[in-house]
A and B are shown apart, each in its own frame.
Chain A
């Protein structure tokens, strides 16, 4: 138990569906992240939020839409995805982005399959 909870753990969706991934952290951290982990590829940073403000958007396609209503919650809204978007989506948090020591606390991930 890392203090970062992701739901759902598994998601299968068609290319025309709209779904959302949810992340919640109970650590009192101020920065939250979405990472994508595909088979045999490095973890790819997608988005960073610091104090609810988006500070990084790593050239992610617009079919992925993040939302951070407060410092404890982070969403990833998905629509019209492609099969190549199938991956493990990991949420992470850290105390503060600007003073980031590099120690991220990861959730267990949401395994997404796009048919």
Chain B
């Protein structure tokens, strides 16, 4: 059974801290791993990862995939209050289904 597990479930940090969010998976037919940010209601796309070891970067956010370890991390440096959100990891399978994890709730305190 395909599975996506995110850790930690929730995290509280101070502005300026660096955080690392984890996503591990078990999937029979891996196609890609995706990260989304959900601030209020609508999740918004952050990254899509298909190859191991290649870092994707957007501003203070970066992400990398490790296919050997069946995992991915999302790093956020110099966190700001606007980074407070739920970060969702999703696996795209060969059947074009998108399995989501339960997410990590990040709270950044001023």
Residues of A within 8 A of B (CB): 2, 4, 40-45, 48, 56, 88, 90, 97-98, 100-109
Q: Given A2-B42, A43-B88, A109-B41: A102 and B97 within 8 A (CB)?
A: no
Q: Is the CB of B96 within 8 A of A97?
A: yes
The answer to whether B109 has its CB under 8 Å from any CB of chain A is no
Binds A, one of B13-21, B70-78, B98-106: B98-106
13 contacts between A and B (CB under 8 A): A4-B42, A42-B4, A42-B99, A42-B100, A42-B102, A45-B97, A90-B41, A98-B96, A102-B92, A103-B34, A103-B48, A104-B45, A105-B45
Q: How far is A109 from B34 in the complex, measured between Cα atoms in Å?
A: 20
Complex contacts, A98 vs chain B, CB 8 Å? 96
Within 8 A of A (CB), among B27-55: 31-32, 34, 40-45, 48
List chain B residues, Cβ under 8 A from A90: 41-43
B-side interface mostly: strand
Docked pose: A114 CA to B74 CA in angstroms:
36
List of A residues within 8 angstroms of B92 by Cβ: 100, 102
Q: B82-110: which residues lie under 8 A (CB-CB) from chain A?
A: 88, 90, 92, 96-103
What are the 6 A-B residue pairs with the smallest beta carbon separation, nearest first? Answer: A43-B100, A106-B42, A109-B41, A108-B41, A42-B100, A102-B92
In the assembled complex, the CB of B86 is this many whole angstroms from the nearest CB of chain A, namely 10
What residues of A have a CB within 8 angstroms of the CB of B31 in the complex? 102
B43, closest chain A residue (CB) = A106
Q: How far is the CA of A108 from the CA of B39 in the complex (A)?
A: 10
Contact B41 A2 (CB under 8 A): no
